[in-house]
A and B are shown apart, each in its own frame.
Chain A
Amino acid sequence: MSSISHDHAAHGTAIPHGHADHGHDDHAHHPTGIMRWITTTNHKDIGTLYLWFSFIMFLSGGVLALTIRTELFHPGLQIVDPEFFNSLTTLHGLVMIFGAIMPAAVGFANWQVPLMIGAPDMAFARMNNWSFWLLPFAAALLIGSFFAPGGAPSGGWTLYPPLSVQFGMGMDMTIFAVHIMGASSIMGSINIVTTILNMRAPGMTLMKMPLFVWTWLITAYLLIAVMPVLAGAVTMLLTDRHFGTSFFNAAGGGDPVMFQHIFWFFGHPEVYIMILPSFGIVSAIIPTFSRKPLFGYASMVYATASIAILSFIVWAHHMFAVGMPAAGQLFFMYATMLIAVPTGVKVFNWVSTMWRGSLSFETPMLFAIGFIFLFTMGGFTGLVLAIAPVDIQLQDTYYVVAHFHYVLVAGSLFAFFGGIYYWLPKWCGRMYSETLGKVHFWASFIFFNITFFPMHFLGLAGMPRRVPDYATQFTDWNEVASIGAFGFGLSQLIFLYAVVQAIRSGEPAPARPWDGADTLEWTLPSPLPYHTFETPPTVA
C-alpha cells in the first residue's frame, strides 16, 4: 500500500480501501510481448494502444499535409497532379479526424475515466479490446485506397455526391473504413457511458465527477447519436453506387443536397466530439497549475451540455452557399452564434480559475494556455463564418481552412499534448524533460501560427481551398505557410523524442508530481499498478 490516504476527488475526499491500489498487485501477471497487446482487456493497455495508434495516424496525416504544402509552396503544378492533390486533401482530413483526433480522445478516456471515477476497468473490457483492434484494419483500408484502381477518393472528406457516387474502388474502401471506424466509436462510446453511469465509486455523484469525465459522458452520447447517421449516409452512398438506388443520384431522382444535410447533421456534432474531451483535459490542467479549484464547476457542466445540444441544430451553417430560404439562413446563423455563449462561459471560467491563482508554467500548463488563446481565436473566426452573407463570400476559401485548424489543431491537438505531459508521469512512472516539453510547446506554438495565420489573409483575398495551383499574388503567404508547416511537422519529432526519453530513462515520478492535482488517480502510486481500484474507494 503506498497510496495517499487523504486526497481529494473533484469535490470530495477519497478514502482508498484496503487493496484499492494493489501496489503488490496479485493480478499483475499478464501475457508479455505482442500477445499482451493483442489480447489485452486492461483499460490502461488499450488506452496506450489508442494513443500510439493515433500518433502514428497523426504522422501519416502530417505527411499528406506536408505534401500538400510542398505543392503549394509555389504557384503552378510542382510535384503532384491535381487529381492526386485532391486525394491528399481528402485523405488528410479523413485520417486526421477519424484516425488521429478521435482515437486520441478515446485513448485518454480509456486511461483516465476508470481512474477518475474509481472504477476497476471499463464496463465491457473485451468489447473495449475489439473497439480498438477494428481501427488498424479501417486505417489500412483508408490509406490502402491510394493503391486501389482509380486512386483514393478526391472529393473532400465530406464525401459529397455526385463525385462520391462516381469514384472508383477507393471510395468503396473509404466507405467500408468509415463503417468500421463508426462501429468502433459506437462500441467505445457505449462502454464509456455505461462505465460512467454504473461504475462510479461510492459517493462519486455525477456532480462530483472531474470535468474530463463529464465532457466524455456528453461526447459519448453525441457519438452514439450521430455516428449511426453517418453510417446510414455512407450506406446509402454504397447502395447508390452498387445496388441501383437513387438516394443521392440526381439522374435517378435522388437529392445530392440531402446528403449534405445528413452529413452535416453528423459533421457539426463531430466538431464538438473532437473538442469536448479537450475541454475536459484543459479543465484538469488549469486548476492544477493554478492551485485553485475549477471556477464555476456546475456552469462548466451545463455549458458542455448546452454546446452538445446546440450542436444538433446548427448543421446547415456549413451549407449557406448551397442555397436555402432566408428564414433558414437566419435560424442557422443565430443558432450558431448562440454556441458562443456556453463556449464563452468556459473560456471565462478557465481564465477566472487562473485569476489570482498561484500559477506555474510547466509544459501542460503552457499547452493549456496556448489552447485557450488559439482556440478562442478559432472560435472568433467561427463567429465570422456564422454570419450568412460573410460565409457566402468566404465559403471554400483558406479562411475556412485557417478557422478549423485553429479549432482542431491548436484546440484539440494542443490539449492532447498538454494531457500527455500532464498524465505521463502517472502512466509510466517517469518524468519527461521539462526543457524538451517547453521547446516542443514553443516550436509548435510559433510554427502553428506561421502556418495557419497567413491563411486568414489568403482566404480574405479569395484563394480557394482544395486547388493545387493559385494566382501569383498569393505566393508570399503560401511560402510562409509552407515553411511554417514543415517547422510544425518537425516540432512533433521533439514530442516523440520527449515521450520516448521519458518512458525509457526519465526521472522516477512521485505519486503526485503536481502539487495542485487532486483527482482520484493521484491517490495511486506511480507508475500505476496493472489493476487499480479493484476495491472501490469511497468518495466523501
Chain B
Amino acid sequence: MPVHPTTTSISPATRRANLRAAVVLVLIAAVFFAGVILSQAFGQTSVGISVLGVGIVGFLVLAIGRNIRR
C-alpha cells in the first residue's frame, strides 16, 4: 500500500507530549461517555450532570489557564 511521507521534523519529546495530551483527552471523553450512562443507571442524575458540568468548566479553566503565558 502506498504510504505518504509523514512529517519527520517532530522531535521525540513533542511526540511524547502529543501522546500524553491525547491520552488525557481520550480519558476525559471516556469518563463523560461512561459517566452519563452510569449516572442514569444508578440514579442521582442531577448529581451526575452537576459533576460533569463542574468537571468540564474546571478543565477548561485549568487547561487554558496554565498555558496562557506559553
Residues of A bordering B, CB below 8 Å: 27, 29-31, 35, 39-42, 120-121, 123-126, 186, 189-190, 193-194, 197-199, 205-207, 217-218, 221, 224-229, 231-233, 235-236, 247, 258, 261-262, 265, 305, 308-309, 312-313, 531, 534-536
Contacts and interface: CB of A to CB of B under 8 A. Distances in A.
Given A193-B25, A205-B69, A231-B33, A225 B14 contact: no
Nearest to A207: B68
B32 A232 contact: yes
Given A258-B45, A535-B9, 5 more contacts: A35-B2, A193-B25, A197-B21, A227-B29, A309-B57
B4 A40 contact: yes
Given A232-B32, A258-B40, A305-B64, A121 B7 contact: yes
Interface string B32-58: 111111001100010001001100110
Given A40-B4, A121-B7, A193 B33 contact: no
B7 A534 contact: yes
Contacts of A207: 68
A424 to B, nearest CB: 24
7 contacts: A27-B5, A40-B4, A42-B4, A186-B29, A227-B29, A228-B30, A534-B8
Contacts of A221: 59-60, 63-64
Contacts of B67: 197, 206
B45 to A, nearest CB: 6
A224 B24 CA distance: 11
Contacts of A41: 4, 6
A199 B5 contact: no
A39 B33 CA distance: 30
Most chain B CB inside 10 Å of its own CB: which residue of A124, A218, A262: A262
B7 A313 contact: no
B14 A39 contact: no
* 10 A-B pairs with the lowest CB-CB distances in the bound complex, closest first: A232-B36, A228-B33, A228-B32, A31-B2, A120-B7, A123-B18, A27-B5, A194-B21, A225-B56, A534-B9
Contacts of B25: 189-190, 193-194, 224
A29 B8 CA distance: 15
Contacts of A536: 9
Given A194-B22, A228-B30, A229-B32, A236 B4 contact: no
Question: What secondary structure prevails in chain A residues at the interface with B?
Answer: helix
Contacts of B49: 261-262, 265
Interface size class of B (residues with CB under 8 A): 35 or more
B3 A305 contact: no
B51 to A, nearest CB: 12
A41 B4 CA distance: 7
Interface of B: 1-10, 14, 17-18, 21-22, 25-26, 28-30, 32-37, 40-41, 45, 49, 52-53, 56-57, 59-61, 63-64, 67-70
Most chain B CB inside 10 Å of its own CB: which residue of A123, A124, A261: A123
A124 B22 contact: yes
A235 B41 CA distance: 12
Contacts of A224: 25, 28-29
Contacts of A120: 7, 9-10
B5 A30 contact: yes
Contacts of B34: 232
A535 B8 CA distance: 10
A533 B4 CA distance: 17
Contacts of B9: 120, 534-536
A275 B45 CA distance: 29
Contacts of A194: 18, 21-22, 25
Contact of B21 (A198, A226, A535): A198
A126 B6 CA distance: 9
A412 to B, nearest CB: 22
Given A199-B14, A206-B70, A228-B30, A312 B56 contact: yes
A385 to B, nearest CB: 22
A394 to B, nearest CB: 26
A167 B33 CA distance: 24
A237 to B, nearest CB: 11
A39 B63 contact: no
A178 B21 CA distance: 25
B70 A531 contact: no
B20 to A, nearest CB: 9
A211 B22 CA distance: 23
Given A39-B1, A186-B29, A125 B6 contact: yes
B64 to A, nearest CB: 7
